[in-house]
Structure 1
């Protein structure tokens, strides 16, 4: 994908550097769900940026971690958040190595949690702007 449209995920919309992650992590978590913790910090850019942390100890299979990242990026793209640095961190185990890597039920549950996180951030920003 090229261009800087709302629905892309160009490098400028990603948090990639360790110090950028650290500066957001220093703040308290903004929100928590059953599996995720969301950290946010206002930024001075014209757009929101996203970082995703999916640790192997909470999702031992790469397929599961990649699914989490894919769903998170997709929802981030379509939500249209205000200028924030957002880090979504997987904070609880989602499955085991012996179980199935992903199921439609797991995907639906993770998607609904992430939708709630991003929708709440968008609503909070809308309420803050007069």
Structure 2
């Protein structure tokens, strides 16, 4: 682990309380992809925070939901984001009934969508005047 703190996922970098989730959900979605919706809200902290919502109705198997969360956390840790509260919500089914829960193709597709979501926020922050 590096000492810079950008690549960790400590509790202070998570959105865990219901009212914190609610305050971000009240805002319009910042970005949408085929499977995800990203909600953001500026925060007064020196770092970004992440919340993940992966509903059972869109990913019935726990292994799929956990994979989605793992990929999301990994990309969040490795992407330098401005001080935003970000919530990534799964918004459509990711697996067909007859397909495997965590195929390489599925992981690659989800990863590319999440990279686009986080990159859009990074670009938005650099374009916004201070």
- What TM-score range do you get, normalising by the shorter chain? over 0.9
Partner of 2:64: 64
Scaled by the length of structure 2, the TM-score of the pair is 0.95
Q: Which residue of 1 aligns with 2:111?
A: 111
User: Under a length normalisation based on structure 1, what TM-score does the superposition of the two structures give?
Assistant: 0.95
Over 3 Å counting, the alpha-carbon distance change for 1:24 and 1:17 in structure 2 is same
**Distance in 1 separating the partners of 2:23 and 2:3:** 28
Gaps of 5+ in 1: none
Structure 1's consecutive aligned runs of 4 or more residues displaced over 3 angstroms after TM superposition are: 1-4
Partner secondary structure for residue 46 of structure 2:
coil
Alignment length, in residue pairs? Answer: 130
8 A contact 1:51–1:88 mirrored in 2: yes
Q: Which residue of 1 aligns with 2:14?
A: 14
Task: Judge conservation of contact 1:60–1:97 (CA < 8 Å) in 2.
Answer: no
Question: What CA deviation, in whole Å up to 9, does each residue of 1:53-96 have, x standing for no partner?
Answer: 00000000000000000000000011110000000000000014
1:45-84 map, 5 Å? 45-84=45-84
Q: CA RMSD in A?
A: 1.6
Distance 1:46 1:112 in 2: 27
